[in-house]
A and B are shown apart, each in its own frame.
Chain A
């Protein structure tokens, strides 16, 4: 162990030296281009090391270090903000029909051990997931029939039509067949010496930090100007905040309280943060219960909650109030119908909320309490996990807003697993959690598809509110079974309309892609003007784009 890491760091140093030599003299690169290299490594914080990091670069593993994302590569790059596609290990793809997808691979790509990258590696990557279901974290083999290599092409045959799953196929980390063939159990494999196609390889590892060094054989070697990445383990927030505010870290993706004064103000010329909107945080209501099964009540909720206050006072103004269409703004471009969003604009309007409740037939008593069916004050619970302090604060604001309407809301904060268990089995009234998805269809599918719901008492993977609606299911299924963009667009607008008129969920605010960076050593970071990638350093596959965009400061 010790000998290996010393050897590795010696190797790292020599590669580092080689890199600096290339930069100061002329060139010896395959592309015969001069590559200017930065003089310092890119220092990042992204992995939690408590008490220390454990070495795991196995890209199949859900607990792998983020560094695996800088070494392994996908077939296609998909921008997590807006879905923009960039060819990567594949140069193109084609739907032969809705059950047959063909990727054409890039030629001339080499693995970091010098062997050529082929279609066999790609087919092997997917077939290994079939053999070990624990590796198939996106359940691809629930729709796939077979994956075969054919010359420089890889053919994906589907048993169930599922066009959106293209995303998960395109963004799977591709592994080296020769390396993984020899691994007896890829589920518990920790992959200390990855063989990769990507810009970096492992240099050294200690429980407090690991170093990645540039891969000299990388197929876009001319785009990488970072000689090495140093990833320092995150321990406690205070210490990390301190390191960020002292400029010791080039890139970090943390929640930093009051970062305008604690971070940016310390050096506004060089310290920045661009945090585009991401995961929608949503009020889930149990639609199997009164009063949530009443549309008027859900509409009242949409008007009753002051989202601006949640964002300003609960979330340091980092986030943005959500729109009822639920999709983040960048994802909506060209997907939804903006004029519908303007028509159904559920803004904060407690008077309107009170009128809607009155129209439901709910009466108030002399104390101003809204009475339920049993003649007692309407009393509801709102759950969110313990420890999610900002969300708990948001819930308190919601409770106050509903309190003004005469509804008594009790905020409950069980443990993370209890909260999710309650949501999955439907043992809740209201809850504030996120509804994630890499692309618009996945968000609507996760939020509204009856396939991912279940009866009360049974486990629902994500449609916790239990929206069971044949029209919705049909739209989602139609979208998933066509490659015709016109039909897909129409389906999306219809789904948007269901969200706006039926309110199965009441979106509250958008989470953000946490991000702090400095331009002390490197420039070319994604910004609002140039949103070429989601900026968080854990963002997969986006951060590969960032690493191939950064330029050293002269």
Chain B
């Protein structure tokens, strides 16, 4: 119980620090979002009246109040999940922009993370059990290769060969331009067709990490005496592999997985940028390059929140699956 209480306090403390930093950092930046907007028009060659600076400031509601009073106001807004209005997509709210992007990210990155965890971990078990055999060397060397590959390059190469040269997959986006998002069979098929290549690149590039981690843990655990004992008892090898070795070896991977789930919300920045996929990562990229502070703050806060909560859940899960943590906390 004390363990749970301590974790909860830690969670709340981290949250407060994250929220406060999130409030402070954009306000420490020099410059003014209104002039960014004007600069954007200028960069494009559009004529704009310098006088509009004032009107845009009024429109965006740029506050000149004291930092402390802004802070209180901000805390009140955060509690109500009100992150203000986006600068670039004015007058839409940050919450609206995030709500538009989040389902795409959860679908694409969430599914590919789960898939790559399941495939990677299972292959890791297999590789460790058949270590130093053909299967192991093939699987391990391939995953060491894909794991070390720069993702950006890999994704661009995939787009170039599979979409641009061969037209096997669509070039970009989450669905065909011109179709209206609905829950019709045709539209869902279209979304799946657009999702395959980005998902494939994520799975292939992240699978190796799970595989190598699992294999190493397994091999460590295989050296334990109780494994030797189990073999001596004459237990079937697949039973030993799954119930004795893998069950113990999977613990670090579970923590990693819980954290990875937290990071799903952050989207896969590179994937979404390469494929122009309308998710959170792409929204964040655009918020950053356009200095859309409210949107950046909103997205960062959601990410921090998810990562902290995922960490918390992983901590709690550990207690359930590993009794040592429980006892360790009380001794």
What is the distance, in angstroms, from A424's C-beta to the closest C-beta of chain B? 7
Of the 9-residue stretches B25-33, B125-133, B255-263, which lies at the interface with chain A? Answer: B25-33
Task: Tell me which residues across on chain A come within 8 A of B205, comparing CB atoms.
Answer: none
What is the distance, in angstroms, from B141's C-beta to the closest C-beta of chain A? 33
A86 within 8 A of B: no
Contact partner of A418 (CB less than 8 A), chosen from B30, B38, B44, B56, is B30
Contact partner of A134 (CB less than 8 A), chosen from B36, B42, B58, is B58
What is the distance, in angstroms, from B234's C-beta to the closest C-beta of chain A? 59
Given contacts A54-B89, A133-B58, A461-B50, contact A511 B45 (CB under 8 A): yes
How far is it, in angstroms, between the C-alpha of A433 and the C-alpha of B97 when the chains are bound? 31
Q: Find out whether the CB atom of A133 lies under 8 angstroms from the CB atom of B55.
A: yes
Chain A: residues with Cβ within 8 Å of the partner, total of 69
B47 within 8 A of A: yes
Contact partner of A235 (CB less than 8 A), chosen from B50, B172, B181, is B172
Q: Find out whether the CB atom of B101 lies under 8 angstroms from the CB atom of A134.
A: no
**CB-nearest residue of chain A relative to B37?**
A62
What is the distance, in angstroms, from B187's C-beta to the closest C-beta of chain A? 11
Q: Find out whether the CB atom of B52 lies under 8 angstroms from the CB atom of A137.
A: yes
Q: Find out whether the CB atom of B278 lies under 8 angstroms from the CB atom of A207.
A: yes
Task: Tell me which residues across on chain B come within 8 A of A461, comparing CB atoms.
Answer: 50-51, 53
Q: Find out whether the CB atom of B46 lies under 8 angstroms from the CB atom of A538.
A: yes
What is the distance, in angstroms, from B152's C-beta to the closest C-beta of chain A? 14
**CB-nearest residue of chain A relative to B178?**
A209
Q: Find out whether the CB atom of A52 lies under 8 angstroms from the CB atom of B31.
A: no
Task: Tell me which residues across on chain A come within 8 A of B178, comparing CB atoms.
Answer: 206, 208-209, 230
Q: Find out whether the CB atom of A136 lies under 8 angstroms from the CB atom of B55.
A: yes
What is the distance, in angstroms, from A83's C-beta to the closest C-beta of chain B? 12
Q: Find out whether the CB atom of A139 lies under 8 angstroms from the CB atom of B31.
A: no
Q: Find out whether the CB atom of B55 lies under 8 angstroms from the CB atom of A137.
A: yes
Contact partner of A416 (CB less than 8 A), chosen from B100, B172, B279, B291, is B291
Q: Find out whether the CB atom of A420 lies under 8 angstroms from the CB atom of B52.
A: no
Q: Find out whether the CB atom of A434 lies under 8 angstroms from the CB atom of B42.
A: yes
For chain B, give the interface size range. 35 or more
What is the distance, in angstroms, from B277's C-beta to the closest C-beta of chain A? 8
B296 within 8 A of A: no
**CB-nearest residue of chain B relative to A133?**
B58
Q: Find out whether the CB atom of A134 lies under 8 angstroms from the CB atom of B45.
A: no
B289 within 8 A of A: yes
What is the distance, in angstroms, from A525's C-beta to the closest C-beta of chain B? 18
How far is it, in angstroms, between the C-alpha of A137 and the C-alpha of B50 when the chains are bound? 9
Q: Find out whether the CB atom of A417 lies under 8 angstroms from the CB atom of B52.
A: no
Q: Which of B273-296 contact A (CB under 8 A)?
A: 273, 276-279, 282-283, 286, 289, 291
Task: Tell me which residues across on chain A come within 8 A of B173, comparing CB atoms.
Answer: 208, 235
How far is it, in angstroms, between the C-alpha of A236 and the C-alpha of B59 when the chains are bound? 28
A362 within 8 A of B: no
B85 within 8 A of A: yes
How far is it, in angstroms, between the C-alpha of A188 and the C-alpha of B60 when the chains are bound? 10
How far is it, in angstroms, between the C-alpha of A387 and the C-alpha of B45 when the chains are bound? 15
Q: Find out whether the CB atom of B51 lies under 8 angstroms from the CB atom of A416.
A: no
Q: Find out whether the CB atom of B181 lies under 8 angstroms from the CB atom of A206.
A: yes
**CB-nearest residue of chain A relative to B58?**
A134
How far is it, in angstroms, between the C-alpha of A2 and the C-alpha of B180 when the chains are bound? 9
What is the distance, in angstroms, from A528's C-beta to the closest C-beta of chain B? 18
How far is it, in angstroms, between the C-alpha of A63 and the C-alpha of B40 when the chains are bound? 11
What is the distance, in angstroms, from A342's C-beta to the closest C-beta of chain B? 28
Q: Find out whether the CB atom of A51 lies under 8 angstroms from the CB atom of B58.
A: no
What is the distance, in angstroms, from B109's C-beta to the closest C-beta of chain A? 14
Q: Residue among B37, B59, B172, B179 with the most chain A CB within 10 A?
A: B59
A493 within 8 A of B: no
Q: Find out whether the CB atom of A420 lies under 8 angstroms from the CB atom of B59.
A: no
Q: List 19 A-B contacts (CB under 8 A).
A: A50-B286, A52-B278, A61-B91, A63-B89, A133-B54, A134-B59, A136-B55, A139-B55, A142-B51, A188-B91, A279-B42, A279-B45, A415-B31, A417-B35, A420-B35, A421-B31, A421-B32, A436-B41, A452-B50
Excluding A50-B286, A61-B59, A188-B91, 8 further A-B contacts by CB distance (< 8 Å) are A62-B56, A63-B37, A138-B55, A139-B51, A235-B173, A416-B291, A417-B30, A420-B35
4 interchain residue pairs of minimum CB distance:
A417-B31, A51-B278, A188-B91, A462-B50
